[in-house]
Structures are given as C-alpha cells and as structure tokens.
Structure 1
Amino acid sequence: MMKRSLTGIAALAAAALALTACSSGTAATDGGDGAESAAKPLSIGNFLDVTSWDPSLADVGFDGPYLSAIYDPLLAINGDGEPQPALATDWEVSDDFKTITMNLRTDATFSDGAAFDADAAVKSLDYLKAGVRSQEAYVKVDSFEAVDEDTIEIHLTERDDTILYYMGLGRSYMMSPEAIDAGTLAETPVGSGPYTLGADSVPGAEYHFAKVADHWDAAAFPFDPLTVSPLSDATAMLNGMESGQFNLIYGDKTATDLAPDNNWNVASGLSTWVGLQFSDRAGATEMGKPLGELKVRQALNYAFNGPEMVETIAQGVGEATNQVFPVGTPGYVESLTGEYPPSIDTAKKLLAEAGYADGFAVTMPMAPPFQPWQAIIEQTFTELGITVTWKETDFMQYMSVAPEYPMFVGVIAMDSNPIATVERQIANPQWYNPTPGLEAFPEVQAQVDTVLTAAPGDEQLAEVEKLNELVTQNAFFSVWAQSTNTYISVADFTVTPVTGMMFPTLRQIAVTE
C-alpha cells in the first residue's frame, strides 16, 4: 500500500504544476535524408491519461509521450533543460532581449496536408498564448510576426529568461491552422508529428499511433508500432512489464529492485520537492500569524528529519535537502544543506523565543496522496505543542483548497531552469504559492530584481545562488526532500529524464546502440 501511495504522489505533482536528454532523439536531424533506424516496437505504460489532445489545454506532466507523437514542437529540450532545435532550426535574441527571431524548417507537413510555414507557426503561437494552460509560456509576449515564409519574430514586452525553456518543455507544439479554426483539436488532434492517432485507440485505456511516412525527423522516432497506455496502478504496470505487454513504464522502487534480474534499464531524475509550503509566510492572516515570525518558520525546518524521512517514507529514494532548486543543478547551493540540522530541541527553543512556547493551532488540508506523511507531521507537531486540525479533501480538489490555508503539505514539481525556479517557487503567484509575500521581505525582493536583470550566464547564476541562500535562511519553505521519477525499460531502450516533465517525450527515448 505504501508503494502505491508514493506512486500516487507523483501523479499529484504532475497535476499540481500545470504548465514541470541528450539522445539520438533530442536534437533535430537533417530532415530525414539519413537512413532511418530499424523499427522497434514501443509500448509505454504511463501513469496518467492524456489531459487533452489540444496543446493549449494539455499538461506538461505525463502528456509528453502522447503529444510528442502527434505534434512537432518549435523547440525541444535536452536532459539539462536546454532548448534544442526542432521545427525552429535556430534562433537569435536581440541585444535588448525583447525580440526573438526564429528560422523555421520548410519540409514539415500537417497530417491534413497543409504545409507548415511562418503563418502556421504564428497562428499556433497566438492560440497557445490564449490557452488556459499554455499561456504560462507567453505572459511577456506582445506579438508574434511572420517575417517571411520561414522566419518568425517573437516580440516581448520585457526581457524573458524562461520563454525558450517553457517552449521546449512542451509549450510550442504546432497545430494545423484549419483544426485550430474548427475548434476540434481536443477530439481530433492534427499536427505535423511523426505519428497520427490510430482509429483503434480506446480512450482512457490504450492509444495506438500510426507512423507517418517521410516525416522530416523520422530517424529520431524508430518506434513502430507505438502504443501508450495509462495505468495508474503500479502493480498492474509492473505486471505488464514482466509479461511483455509493456517495454517501458513509469516505475517505482519495486520495479527498480527487479530490474537487474530482468536486464531492465533504470533511469531516474529529480522531479518534485516534498515538505511544508508556507502559503502565508508573511503572517497576513490570523491563523497564519505565527508563520510571520522567522523563528517559527525556522523551527519548522529544524523539526523535521529529512534524511530519515527519505529512508523510511520514501524507501531510500530521493535526496534529503532543504532547497527548492534541484540538487546538482545551477542555483543549488550544497553548503545550505546543513542550514537546519534536525533538532526538536532547537525547534522548541526557537518557538519559545518567538512567543509560542506552548505552540499554536493550525488547520491544514489533507488528501489521500499525502497520508504517508500525516503521522510524522502529527507526531512532530505534538512534540512542539502545535495542534493541527485536518480538513479532509480529495485529490482533485486539493489544488483549489490548499491555498486557503496558511501552510499545507506540498509535493511541488521542480524545474531544471533556475530562472523558472525563481519565478515559480519564489516570485510569482501560483496555486501552490498564492501569496509570495515579497513585500514583507524587501531584501528578497531586491535580490529577485537583481537576478532578473543580471547578465545571462555566470553572473546571473551567482545572483540566483545568493537568492537561494536568502530564501533558505528566511525559511520560505520547510523542504524535507526531493523526490525522483523513475522509468524502467527493456534493454532495447534508454530514457533521459527531464526535471520539469513527469514522463519524457518521445524525443527523450532512444534505441540502445
């Protein structure tokens, strides 16, 4: 039961962050002129069903295999979170950072026969900019312009250090202009991708994809036949792997442990941080007033033993850390991991110094995926004199109700791009960070401004690290650990995880040489 609960947490993280591979499939090839690789059957056991076939409504989380089969993106992404060419062959950012010029391929065709060109690209980008979910990539865009048949310009209202990252992460899929006008993409997806959706697909159970002849990047997609099946039961997914129904699945620790005996490949990458999210860290509400005290927030960092929780609750899978920047990526500061060594005594002392020697009362939401941590929270709060009242809710409602409380258990998706982390986790309102409260932390606000105006490269990354130090010292969160996503494949395939994607796209799946 524990294993299934922990697998469910990954699904929550995917739904929670509605947007977030150096292999033969990552970078664009020479347009299909080279020899195509021998076809390999690929049957994927994914954790969740496709949220929508319409890229403007789809989630980045587990939708990667589905959407990347049907649609080509302007930009792809590699395992380090760096944008890569796809339908856009190259791009240039102007000296004032407000214009991005992209050169486009001229040999791509939508499955309805229409040619991909600059006008089609602009139409898709306008549609994505207006999309409920996809708009997050284009909040600083003023307009898109077709300069000529194979060139577009993206005009920004201000400098944007994350737009190319978001586009590569899954926010630049190109759609047929006619299908956009018809409003039918959610039911009948029409892209220029390497596959089309098979008529024999069974929604919610099994999706079959037909390989497109003469696709411009055919060599990057040697999978035929291709099937993707949503199956959120970890045991059933593992059974499918063992029986040969699947040759690539979203795995858990049990599957990882069985991999050596079955000659399976295991690929893991950091995906989410786990801990307490302080949604009222400024103490603006009556119930959240204690959290407005730095020493209270620091106490809640000292109180939880992250390394022990990784070993027990997470069964040894993950990284014990107190930061929201993924371990080992730009912005992460190794020395900060010792900032809050676990100590109930230190936590009690800090609470007393803040005027809460007898603790305080707090109400928090609880949903089934978070129950593995409920007991340790109750135990720890009891030791601190904190009385917690749980408001039970279900998985689907958690995102809408959690921001109503001063703090809640968070399983929050991370980004490999450090500026995206700054914007999503610290500076900008999100469902999981509804009131960043930076007006109460002028030093943090000033450092955010410095980060966003610093020269790209080493100078900016140095400022990001300073910001990370500030928010960690100010206990913006009580991070216990960072969790991983794991993918199990037969020896024929290798997978490159991407932090920001719960399940990689087909471009991160390669045939083993």
Structure 2
Amino acid sequence: MTRTRTTALVAVAVAAATALAACTSAGSNNPGGSTGGGGGGAEITELKAGVFLDVTSWDPASADIGFDGPYLSAVYDPLVALDNEAKPIPALATKWEWSADRLTLSMDLRTGVTFDDGQKFDAAAAVANLKHLKAGVRSGQAYLNVTDVSAKDEDTVELKLSKRDDSLLYFMGLGRSWMASPAAIAADALAKGPVGSGPYKFVADKSAPQSQYVFTKKDNHWDSATYPFKDVQLLPIMDQTASFNAMQSGQLNAQFANAANLPKAKEAGWNISSKPSSWVGVQFADRTGAQVKALGDAKVRQAIAYAFDSAGILQAVGNGAGTATNQLWPVDGKVYDKSMDGKYQTNMDKAKQLLAEAGYAGGFSVKMPMSPIFQAWQPAANQTFGDLGIKVEWVDMAMPDYQKNAPTYPMFLAVIAMSGNDMATLSDQVTTAQWYNPNPSVDKFPEVKALVDEVEKAEPAAQTELLKKLNTKLVDLAWWDVWYQADNMYFSAKGIKVQPVTGMMFPTLRFIQRG
C-alpha cells in the first residue's frame, strides 16, 4: 500500500510556477499607506486572506491536505492539532497513550462539544469519522497502518495498528483528523457544505465559489482564544499579480506571497514569514538501472549532482526564496546537516570524471517528461545534461498528466512537498511507494535497508541521530539530485502574523494571529 501525498507535485508545482512569475506591476503608488499596511494602531478584527486556491472539498476525507487547511480549520475541529514546530498537540482528543508495543493508540475525547446540526461529539462520532477518513481516497494516507477503530466508552476511542507508525499523529494533526457530523457523513452531505463544530460559522449567503468564503466567529467555542479574529474572509486568488495588488489596496491583509514582490513588501512595512515547503531537483525513479542501466550506478547519479549549479538555479528561477541544499529533510530541522551541503559543490570536471569511471565518458540517452509548469527549469537542465553528454529526449505532456506519467520515466524534474515530521519524511520520501517514488528500492541497497530498519525499531528519542546517519548515506548515494528547498512565503499587514508550517501550503487559521 502507498502513503500518497496528493499535494506533492500538482498543487505544489502550481504554487511554485506562480511564484516564478515575472515581477508584478504595482497596483498602488503608496504601498506603505494605511490601506495596504493594515491601518494605524487599530486592532484588526477581520482576517482577509488570499489563499491561492479554491476549496477542493468540504469533506475532510476528500480535501487537499495542503491548500484546504484554512477553509476546513474555520468550520471543523480536529482530534489532533500541531504546534508551531509541527508536533502533535491535543484538540478534540485531550490526551492519548500508546501501548507498550505501539500497536494500540487510546485517545480520551473532549466532552460538551456539539456539531452545527445538533449532533453530539462523542466516541461514536469519532469512530464514524475515523472510519470515514480511513476509507477516503486522500485522507486514507494517514491511516494505512490502522486496522480497526472502536469506542471503549462514551469518551474514549481506540485505534489498532498492524505495524508501528511513528508518523500517524503527525498526519492526523496536519489535516487528517477533522471531525464532521456523523449524520452529514451518513447522508453524504459534506460535498454540499461543511457540518462541523469548529470556531467559525460558514456564511453561505455571503460566499461564492472561486470568489470569497465568509465566516463569523461563534460564541463560546471551547478553543475560542486560539482564534482572535471576529470575522474571516478567505479569497482564492491564483493570479499573484492580482493578489499582490489586492494586498496593496487593503482588500487583503494576508496572502500567499510571490518572492519576486519581497522588496515592495519590505517597503510597505508588512510582516514577512517563510518556511521550507518543497524540494526541487531531479527525482531518480530508477535507482537500480532497470530502465536505464547508467542510473543504477551511484557514480552516474553523483555526476549529475555535481553538474547542476543549484545555487544559481535557486537565484535565477526561484527568486532566492529557499536554501540550496542536497538534502530533503527540512533545513530548519534536527536531521538536516549543513556540512553535507558541500559534498556536491558544482564541479563539471568532477562530474565528467565520475561518468568516465562509470563507463559513460560519452554520456548516454534518456527520455524525460516535460510540462509547462517545469519549463522555467528546462534551460538549466538542457545546458547541464548537454555538458555531460547526456542526450535527453523531452516528452511533452499537459500538467494534469505529469503526476500520472512522470514516474514511469527513469528520472524527471520534480517539485515535491516536504513534511514537518522526520519520520513522515522517511516514510514519504524513502520507504513507501508514492506516485513520485513508485519503486523505493530500499531492499536493493543493503546499507540503506539496515539503517532504515534501525531507525524504525528505535525508541523515538534515539531516532534523530539514526536519521542523520541515514541522511548521510542517502546523500552519498545521490538517492535524489536535490537542488534546493523552496520556501513558501506569506505577507501580512501590520497587526497580523502568519506562522508557516512545513507540510501546509497555507497554514490553518490557528497559525494566523494578531501581532
């Protein structure tokens, strides 16, 4: 079975490509004025956020884990939330406990919570939701190892696992434990609109798809203090020029930002926040040489890593919004090792030497997919592969087809979502089959397999150091050719602060505060 990150390329690549747009036109000659700056010293009571994409579904089982977070967090409460460091914290589940073998998770539930349709939240409601989420095409990714969910009593649920899963609580907190009315689930009514117990009421008559979604704060919500704004407007604006102009005019006071507009944001005095969100580079779908023999040789993959000017690509294509690195554990995390970034300093002579040592002094031929979203990186790829003598035949395809078809090729240009949890990174990027990594091939590399087994069997407190060893080995083997980790960036008016969270393309509302 696979643990599929549905936002991993399509949604992320859309955001990345938009962020690569040329510098926007100025919508105002006074970007620092009161309309764009959030207004004087008055306390902001209404959040008006430009969130990039329209809501994909009000059903938590079908929603996008990355972009739907702001919408769903307004109207649903989760069992588990995340803190600023992406660590699981209590929400509707007030506490939890693992069995000694970590195959049973018991969760105590909050009492006195009612859904908008009058249904009571209790263990039976939680079980109905968890079974619905496990069956979901998208949400099921969090519950791959969950075999059964049951109510122990009125306010306790128990999850049984087939194998230990150290990333389960993280995925639940990331956006896979929103609780909806069991009656709405049974009636298949969530496709029409939300029925939750969240901090805000959805104002349907003031909302319109593709335009705006309006919410007003409820009285006496159990977590009211976490949500400081009386009213919330979420405006899906994919065109980043339009979004920036709306920010300047005061129509927005927070937005998913384009790094090209950073100088103007600083001039306006806005708050600016960013965090690693995705890695950009070459994904090797064929590390064993089954399709292209050359790629089964670590020296060939290392040659490709030496050849690319990662820092130059980050500046030229990514507007400098990120960190040049050959690693994909987040650069602000504990597994990341800055000293490793010097391993593949751009060196074309070294790259050619490695190719020659592997028996490919004249290069080799390979087919790679291409879609409009990746054309910004294609010139650098053409130049680099050409200098190495690697003859690439690009196969053009529409963007929606890229996710389906790209991994059938031996290697491809990639923008892949990252996780804020180290064990989730191991699962997502290394050990389990994903659409972007259909053949993990861990068993074909005994040293990697041994390290993975050691990490997965270790106590949580010991896993970080073991993951560092695994990270070093994967970089040595050029498991991927990571060029850089791209940041998601957010602008907000004075008086509002956005706390980015790796794994969320736009943070849920608990991470947007006054300040």
TM-score w.r.t. length of structure 1 = 0.91
Per-residue CA distance 1:214-246 (angstroms, 9 max, x = gap): 221122222232111111111100000011111
Which residue identity lines up with residue 44 of structure 1 in the other structure?
A
Which residue identity lines up with residue 77 of structure 1 in the other structure?
L
Q: Which residue matches 1:60?
A: 65
Which residue identity lines up with residue 225 of structure 1 in the other structure?
D
Match of 1:446 among 428, 444, 450: 450
Q: What are structure 2's unaligned runs of at least 5 residues?
A: 1-10, 20-42
Distance 1:492-1:39 versus aligned 2 partners, 3 A rule: closer
Matched, 1:482 2:488: no
Distance 1:399-1:441 versus aligned 2 partners, 3 A rule: same
Q: Which residue matches 2:48?
A: 43
Q: Which residue matches 1:22?
A: none
Any residues of structure 2 matched to 1:92-491 within 5 Å, and which? 92-200=97-205, 201-285=207-291, 288-457=292-461, 459-491=462-494
Question: Which 10-residue stretch deviates more, 401-410 or 94-103?
Answer: 94-103
Per-residue CA distance 1:307-341 (angstroms, 9 max, x = gap): 22222222222101000111131221222111111
By how many angstroms is 1:266 displaced? 0.5
Which residue identity lines up with residue 454 of structure 2 in the other structure?
T
Matched residue SS, 2:327 = coil
By how many angstroms is 1:455 displaced? 1.1
By how many angstroms is 1:367 displaced? 1.4
Partner Cα distance (1:69, 1:82) in 2: 20
Partner Cα distance (1:272, 1:375) in 2: 21
Which residue identity lines up with residue 268 of structure 1 in the other structure?
S
Q: Which residue matches 2:503?
A: 500
Matched residue SS, 1:388 = strand
Q: Which residue matches 2:24?
A: none
Are the aligned partners of 1:348 and 1:384 in contact in 2 as well (CA < 8 Å)? yes
Q: Which residue matches 2:26?
A: none
Partner Cα distance (1:106, 1:258) in 2: 48
Matched residue SS, 1:223 = coil
Q: Which residue matches 1:35?
A: none
By how many angstroms is 1:466 displaced? 0.9
Which residue identity lines up with residue 482 of structure 2 in the other structure?
V
Partner Cα distance (1:330, 1:98) in 2: 26
Matched residue SS, 1:270 = strand
Partner Cα distance (2:84, 2:18) in 1: 19
Partner Cα distance (1:416, 1:191) in 2: 26
Partner Cα distance (2:128, 2:348) in 1: 57
By how many angstroms is 1:9 displaced? 4.5
Per-residue CA distance 1:479-498 (angstroms, 9 max, x = gap): 11110001111111111110
By how many angstroms is 1:8 displaced? 5.7
Are the aligned partners of 1:73 and 1:172 in contact in 2 as well (CA < 8 Å)? yes
Q: Which residue matches 1:17?
A: none
Question: Which 10-residue stretch deviates more, 306-315 or 396-405?
Answer: 306-315
Are the aligned partners of 2:18 and 2:240 in contact in 1 as well (CA < 8 Å)? no
Percentage of pairs with the same residue: 51
Are the aligned partners of 1:295 and 1:350 in contact in 2 as well (CA < 8 Å)? yes
TM-score w.r.t. length of structure 2 = 0.91
Partner Cα distance (2:13, 2:161) in 1: 39
Partner Cα distance (2:53, 2:430) in 1: 28
Which residue identity lines up with residue 114 of structure 1 in the other structure?
Q
Matched residue SS, 1:69 = helix
Which residue identity lines up with residue 397 of structure 1 in the other structure?
D
Are the aligned partners of 2:12 and 2:416 in contact in 1 as well (CA < 8 Å)? no
Question: Which 10-residue stretch deviates more, 475-484 or 38-47?
Answer: 38-47
Partner Cα distance (2:138, 2:405) in 1: 19
Partner Cα distance (2:384, 2:232) in 1: 48
Per-residue CA distance 1:166-207 (angstroms, 9 max, x = gap): 000000000100000001112121111112322221112211
- Tell me the C-alpha RMSD between the 2 structures: 1.7
| Moved segments of 4+, more than 6 Å | none
Partner Cα distance (2:452, 2:18) in 1: 25
By how many angstroms is 1:438 displaced? 1.7
Per-residue CA distance 1:375-425 (angstroms, 9 max, x = gap): 010001111111111111122221001011000001111112111111111
Partner Cα distance (2:316, 2:405) in 1: 29
Partner Cα distance (1:7, 1:500) in 2: 10
Are the aligned partners of 2:12 and 2:417 in contact in 1 as well (CA < 8 Å)? no
Partner Cα distance (2:475, 2:122) in 1: 47
Are the aligned partners of 2:327 and 2:336 in contact in 1 as well (CA < 8 Å)? yes
By how many angstroms is 1:11 displaced? 5.5
Distance 1:8-1:244 versus aligned 2 partners, 3 A rule: farther
Question: Which 10-residue stretch deviates more, 324-333 or 120-129?
Answer: 324-333
Which residue identity lines up with residue 484 of structure 1 in the other structure?
D
Which residue identity lines up with residue 359 of structure 1 in the other structure?
G
Distance 1:12-1:432 versus aligned 2 partners, 3 A rule: farther
Matched residue SS, 1:227 = strand
Question: Which 10-residue stretch deviates more, 428-437 or 312-321?
Answer: 312-321
Per-residue CA distance 1:418-440 (angstroms, 9 max, x = gap): 11111111111101111111232
Per-residue CA distance 1:121-179 (angstroms, 9 max, x = gap): 11100100110010111111121121111111111112110000000000000010000
Partner Cα distance (1:39, 1:85) in 2: 28
Are the aligned partners of 2:212 and 2:233 in contact in 1 as well (CA < 8 Å)? yes
Matched residue SS, 1:295 = helix
Which residue identity lines up with residue 55 of structure 1 in the other structure?
P
Q: Which residue matches 2:39?
A: none
Are the aligned partners of 2:13 and 2:415 in contact in 1 as well (CA < 8 Å)? no
Match of 2:86 among 64, 81, 84: 81
Matched residue SS, 1:372 = coil
